[in-house]
């Protein structure tokens, strides 16, 4: 069944129950606004701006937006872009698009004007829904895309002259569902890749894949209608939304938190009685550091209801999980691995019952198959390194309008992930590194993730990234960019001494004490680091080869 069916069912079962909450700790306004369809809940703490809606209102808003789109000529197979920061309107807009039979096309809110233009053309977007934060960027490209792309504005400020106002236009639309038949095989969404090697690729998924992500997540973590999912990552990314989809399937609530400071996360989890946290590595590290330093104290919060903390989007240091469980010994923990090409997290996961295997990304997820192959596509033996491949209903249809890129990664239904991995005798998979990030030094393959994981266990290290730098004799050498915890002192000599525990060939040849940049989904921006420290020339040469 199409994923929109779940929303209809939740209305029947839980219609007047709150399903979405938006919290902005840094918005200081507390006065009530006049909304026709949902209430703004005024808080006594002026720092916390809060809104909430019920399942009935969620569905009504989705229906109104769907009817607006149909009124503007949108039909099955058309594409509607979403360029919004996380907000309470985001998900009703997303489901409204799906109800028309059109494809939802979420944009990364960090896209530049040129990237917005590129992605709009690549995905052939017919309508673009955008927020007030993006007015300037849209103005820059309006002459280039405006003729083929209708603009709808979401915000409380004055609507730009080149767009329609979302609130005004949807208020007059019917709240009944549109008469559009949908099936599992209909196209549902286009997500964009991270774009770390150039402009993003457009990833096409069917309704079947979205439904698969719901079932996978619910099977892994057993969400019920009483669970409260704290959603912090951007909704344009498959990770955050697809993790909530397990709660969505069960009728559970989502709390959208705008802000990643440790005190915001713990206070919101406490105030909203959240039961599930999905974090990125930097946010978990920040919370642990704040607890270690005494900046935050657990006794100031009500967190006994928290049952699950899980992490995805990047390799997770073993030391982080062990430290987390020392503060929260009653938490279940899970590591989640996935790609936007496999509808986000869950094709491999550790499993809450396998915390003794922390360090592995886990075992094949519910409804997923895996294999690890050599450069010829032949499966390798356990213990050997090869490329991880996954297969299941969540695999993308294709890279939209890019058959060459599609054929490079999709073979006989298998998605070749580009991640190097190995499987231990018990069948647990360990991520070794991205294929393109492997460092070849003097003929030896060096996998940065292994070194990053080791350095992360140093008590003074906040974050670390290992990249390859050109070397005239060895071809390339490994360099570790290390971010030291605030208030701690650690030198390059200290790190070099610490790494003597590693085999000689794995020891970084160079240490750089600096901040480690990460993107909005928590992934280390290694292309940026290579550009800063000279590794980009090496990457260019590898690409040409």
pTM of the predicted model as reported, rounded to 2 decimal places: 0.82
Q: What pLDDT score does 315 carry?
A: 65
Q: To the nearest 10°, report the CA torsion of 363, 365, 371, 372.
A: -50
* Sign of the alpha-carbon torsion through 224, 230, 232, 234: positive
Per-residue DSSP letter, 155: S
- Could you give the C-alpha distances from 238 to 235, 241, 338, 431, in angstroms and in order? 7, 6, 9, 20
Looking at the domain that runs over 442-544, which CATH code has it been given?
3.30.300.30
For the chain, 545 residues long, give each residue's pLDDT as a single digit of tens. 899 999 999 999 999 999 999 999 887 544 444 333 344 443 444 457 899 999 999 999 999 999 999 999 999 999 999 999 999 999 999 999 999 999 999 998 888 898 899 999 999 999 999 999 999 999 999 999 888 899 999 998 899 999 999 999 999 999 999 999 999 999 999 999 865 446 789 999 999 999 999 999 999 999 999 999 999 988 998 877 888 999 999 999 999 999 889 999 999 999 999 999 998 877 888 899 999 999 999 999 999 999 999 987 666 778 888 899 999 998 999 988 888 999 877 899 999 999 888 888 899 999 999 999 998 999 999 999 899 999 999 999 999 999 999 999 999 999 999 888 999 999 999 987 666 777 877 656 787 887 888 898 899 999 999 988 887 667 788 999 999 998 898 999 999 999 998 878 789 999 999 999 887 666 788 878 888 887 554 444 344 33
Q: Where exactly are the structural domains of the chain?
A: 4-221, 442-544
Q: Which of 483, 481, 495, 496 is nearest to 526 (CA)?
A: 481
Q: Which fold has domain 4-221?
A: Rossmann fold (3.40.50)
Q: What pLDDT score does 276 carry?
A: 96
Q: What pLDDT score does 212 carry?
A: 95
Q: Which of 191, 157, 179, 187 is nearest to 78 (CA)?
A: 187
What stretch of H or E contains 433? Answer: strand 429-434
Q: What pLDDT score does 69 carry?
A: 97
Q: What pLDDT score does 63 carry?
A: 97
């Amino acid at each position: 069944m199409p994923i929109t069916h779940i929303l209809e069912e939740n209305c029947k079962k839980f219609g007047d129950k709150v399903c979405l909450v938006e919290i902005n700790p840094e918005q200081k306004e507390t006065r009530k606004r006049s909304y026709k369809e949902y209430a703004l809940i005024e808080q006594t703490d002026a720092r916390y701006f809060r809104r909430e809606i019920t399942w009935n209102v969620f569905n009504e808003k989705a229906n109104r937006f769907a009817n607006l789109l149909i009124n503007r000529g949108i039909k099955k197979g058309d594409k509607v872009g979403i360029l919004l920061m996380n907000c309470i309107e985001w998900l009703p807009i997303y489901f409204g698009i799906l109800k028309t039979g059109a494809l939802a096309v979420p944009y990364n809110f960090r896209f530049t004007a040129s990237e917005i233009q590129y992605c709009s053309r690549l995905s052939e977007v017919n309508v673009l829904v955008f927020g007030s934060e993006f007015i300037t960027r849209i103005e820059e490209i309006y002459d280039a895309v405006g003729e083929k792309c209708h603009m709808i504005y979401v915000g409380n400020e004055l609507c730009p002259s080149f767009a329609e106002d979302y609130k005004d236009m949807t208020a007059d639309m019917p709240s009944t569902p549109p008469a559009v038949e949908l099936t599992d095989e209909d196209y549902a969404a286009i997500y964009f890749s991270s774009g770390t090697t150039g402009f993003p690729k457009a990833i096409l998924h069917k309704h079947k894949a979205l439904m698969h992500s719901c079932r996978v997540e619910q099977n892994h973590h057993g969400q019920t209608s009483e669970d409260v999912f704290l959603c912090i990552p951007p909704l344009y990314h498959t990770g955050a939304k697809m993790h909530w989809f397990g709660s969505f399937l069960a009728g559970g609530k989502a709390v959208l938190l705008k802000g990643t400071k440790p005190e915001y996360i713990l206070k919101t989890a406490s105030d909203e009685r959240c039961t599930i946290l999905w974090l990125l590595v930097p946010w978990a590290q920040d919370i642990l550091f704040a607890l270690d330093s005494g900046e935050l104290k657990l006794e100031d919060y009500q967190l006994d209801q928290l049952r699950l903390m899980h992490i995805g989007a990047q390799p997770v240091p073993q030391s982080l999980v062990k430290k987390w469980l020392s503060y929260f010994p009653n938490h279940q923990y899970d590591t989640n691995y996935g790609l936007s090409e496999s509808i986000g997290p869950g094709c491999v996961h550790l499993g809450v019952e396998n915390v003794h295997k922390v360090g592995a990304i886990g075992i094949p997820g519910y409804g997923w198959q895996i294999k690890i192959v050599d450069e010829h596509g032949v499966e390798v033996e356990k213990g050997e390194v090869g490329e991880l491949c996954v297969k299941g209903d969540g695999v993308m249809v294709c890279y939209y309008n890019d058959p060459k890129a599609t054929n490079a990664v999709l073979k006989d239904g298998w998605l070749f992930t580009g991640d190097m991995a190995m499987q231990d005798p018990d069948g647990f998979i360990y991520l070794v590194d991205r294929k393109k990030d492997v460092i070849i030094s003097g003929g030896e393959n060096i996998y940065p993730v292994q070194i990053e994981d080791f350095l992360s266990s140093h008590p003074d290290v906040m974050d670390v990234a290992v990249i390859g730098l050109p070397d005239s004799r060895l071809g390339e050498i490994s360099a570790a960019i290390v971010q030291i915890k605030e208030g701690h002192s650690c030198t390059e000599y200290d790190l070099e001494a610490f790494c003597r525990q590693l085999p000689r060939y794995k020891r970084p040849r160079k240490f750089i004490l600096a901040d480690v940049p990460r993107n909005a989904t928590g992934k280390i921006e290694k292309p940026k680091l290579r550009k800063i420290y000279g590794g980009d020339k090496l990457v260019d040469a590898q690409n040409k080869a």
